[in-house]
């Protein structure tokens, strides 16, 4: 018999959209992909060459479960240079992407019934992983008119003895919001453990990204190479843990994942040390795309009160067209072959919204907007 928890875990709707889009493409349709958060850029050449050298040099065996010391030291140096914080490399665990890092984190932190505070909207997988591991998600609504940011005073009213942590994601998926230093300090001052998802650091426009480690050591940091360095298929992430959690997370890693790929980790070292000019170029291009898609969506009648300051998403209010974001997104996909993500994937407070990813070429985005304009006129 299939386990109850596997039956009850919700699907990740963006993947349902993507898989249906692939079915349409196999039948000959040209689909405009504005649904997935996957950079359209090639992995920078310096990273690819480092991976090739590692393969040719026989770097194909297990590494220590925590990851190569060279990569952990490079990450510690990155946090020192960019955020002015000093991290013992022993506190860093290298993972096969940030999703396994979440699994390690919540497995080590949560007992059954423990709660984690999340914004609503949230990244779709947060509550699913928390609940799968026996925890509870405490949802705090955030609103577009307040830049989708936590009201610290409101969070305080949601804290209970079972609350183990407050999760932040800055820059955020799906909203693109960036937390200010003052907000992060106020959250740290609440005295609870902070979980900071920093996967979109480096992809920011006109604001400043801060690590939670600037404000407290009572924190876990999730990070990775997929977004910043266009390395989604390489599957490389990391988790920074408080000192007392090092051995617990290491043991879970040993049992479930053993280690991340050796040659991939050496590519990660090159990313941190050599790829910043490539990141700067990608950031400039993303900003150009953002500056096109936001006013274009407004022209088409979508509500966008908050312009994203980071990541590569726009969460657009589509309620004047439909309040059923799932049906609306699938109808667009079937009729005009434009793939976007339904807002309901990110929580009840995003229902009626659609998330548009601008991690695709400007020409492709323009074509998608043209098809969307025709579609909306026909409704």
**pTM for the full predicted model:** 0.94
pLDDT at 136: 97
The DSSP bridge partners found for residue 197 are 169, 222
pLDDT at 7: 87
pLDDT band at 311 (very low <50, low <70, confident <90, very high): very high
Residues 6+ apart with CB under 8 A from 170: 177, 178, 179, 184, 196, 197, 198, 200, 209, 210, 310
Q: Is the preceding peptide bond at 161 cis, omega within 30 degrees of 0? A: no
What 3-state DSSP class applies to 257?
Answer: coil
Pairwise CA distance, residues 217 & 202, whole Å: 22
Contact 160, 204 (CB under 8 A): no
pLDDT at 111: 96
DSSP 272-323: HHH-HHHHHHHHHHHHHHHHHHHHHHHHTT-B-SS---BTTEEEEE-TTT-S
pLDDT at 366: 98
Give 342's DSSP letter: E
> What b/e string do you get for 78-104 counting C-beta neighbours within 10 Å, with b at 16 or more?
bbeeebebebebebbbbbbbbbbbbbb
Span 368-375, average pLDDT: 97
pLDDT over threshold 90, residue 128? yes
At residue 112, what are phi and psi to the nearest 5 degrees?
Answer: -55, 130
Residues 6+ apart with CB under 8 A from 368: 32, 34, 338, 360
pLDDT over threshold 90, residue 4? no
Span 74-102, average pLDDT: 97
The mean pLDDT of the chain is 96
More confident: 153 or 298: 298
Helix axes 69-83, 262-274, angle to 10 degrees: 30
pLDDT at 156: 87
Structure confidence by residue, pLDDT tens digits, 212-248: 999 999 999 999 999 999 999 999 999 999 999 999 9
Structure confidence by residue, pLDDT tens digits, 321-362: 999 999 999 999 999 999 999 999 999 999 999 999 999 999
pLDDT at 137: 97
Domains and CATH numbers, the chain: 4-43+277-378 (3.90.1150.10), 45-275 (3.40.640.10)
pLDDT band at 9 (very low <50, low <70, confident <90, very high): confident
Span 53-67, average pLDDT: 97
Pairwise CA distance, residues 43 & 87, whole Å: 27
pLDDT at 193: 97
Structure confidence by residue, pLDDT tens digits, 172-217: 999 999 999 999 999 999 999 999 999 999 999 988 889 999 999 9
Sheet holding 313-317, edge to edge: 313-317, 353-357, 341-342
H or E segment at 270?
A: helix 262-274
Q: Which of 244, 341, 287, 241 is nearest to 37 (CA)?
A: 341
Q: Among residues of the chain, what percentage have pLDDT more than 90?
A: 93
pLDDT over threshold 90, residue 6? no
More confident: 377 or 8: 377
């Amino acid at each position: 018999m299939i386990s109850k928890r596997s039956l009850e875990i919700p699907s990740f709707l963006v993947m349902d959209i993507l898989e249906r889009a692939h079915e349409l493409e196999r039948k000959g349709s040209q689909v405009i992909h504005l649904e997935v958060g996957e950079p359209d850029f090639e992995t920078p050449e310096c990273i690819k060459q480092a991976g090739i050298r590692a393969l040719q040099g026989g770097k194909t065996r297990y590494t220590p479960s925590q990851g190569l010391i060279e990569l952990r030291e490079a990450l510690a140096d990155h946090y020192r240079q960019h955020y002015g914080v000093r991290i013992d490399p022993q506190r860093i665990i290298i993972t096969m992407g940030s999703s396994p890092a979440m699994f390690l984190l919540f497995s080590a932190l949560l007992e059954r019934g423990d709660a984690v505070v999340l914004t609503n909207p949230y990244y779709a997988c947060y509550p699913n992983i928390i609940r799968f591991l026996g925890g509870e998600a405490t949802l705090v609504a955030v609103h577009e008119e307040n830049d989708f940011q936590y009201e610290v005073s409101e969070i305080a009213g949601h804290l209970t003895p079972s609350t183990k942590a407050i999760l932040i994601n800055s820059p955020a998926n799906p909203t693109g919001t960036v937390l200010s230093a003052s907000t992060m300090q106020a959250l740290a001052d609440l005295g609870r453990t902070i979980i900071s998802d920093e996967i979109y650091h480096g992809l920011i426009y006109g604001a400043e990204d801060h690590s939670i480690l600037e404000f407290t050591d009572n924190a876990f940091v999730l990070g990775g190479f997929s977004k910043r360095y266009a390395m989604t298929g390489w599957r490389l992430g990391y988790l920074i843990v408080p000192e007392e959690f090092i051995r617990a997370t290491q043991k879970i890693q040993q049992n479930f994942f053993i280690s991340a790929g050796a040659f991939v980790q050496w590519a990660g070292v090159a990313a941190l040390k050599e790829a910043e000019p490539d990141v700067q170029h990608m950031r400039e291009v993303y900003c150009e795309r953002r500056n096109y898609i936001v006013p274009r969506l407004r022209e088409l009648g979508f509500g966008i009160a908050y312009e994203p300051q980071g990541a590569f998403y726009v969460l657009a209010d589509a309620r004047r067209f439909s309040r059923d974001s799932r049906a609306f997104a699938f109808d667009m996909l079937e009729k005009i072959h434009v793939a976007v993500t339904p807002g309901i994937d990110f929580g009840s407070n995003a229902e009626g919204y659609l998330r548009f990813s601008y991690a695709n070429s400007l020409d492709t985005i323009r074509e998608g907007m043209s098809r969307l304009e025709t579609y909306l006129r026909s409704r």
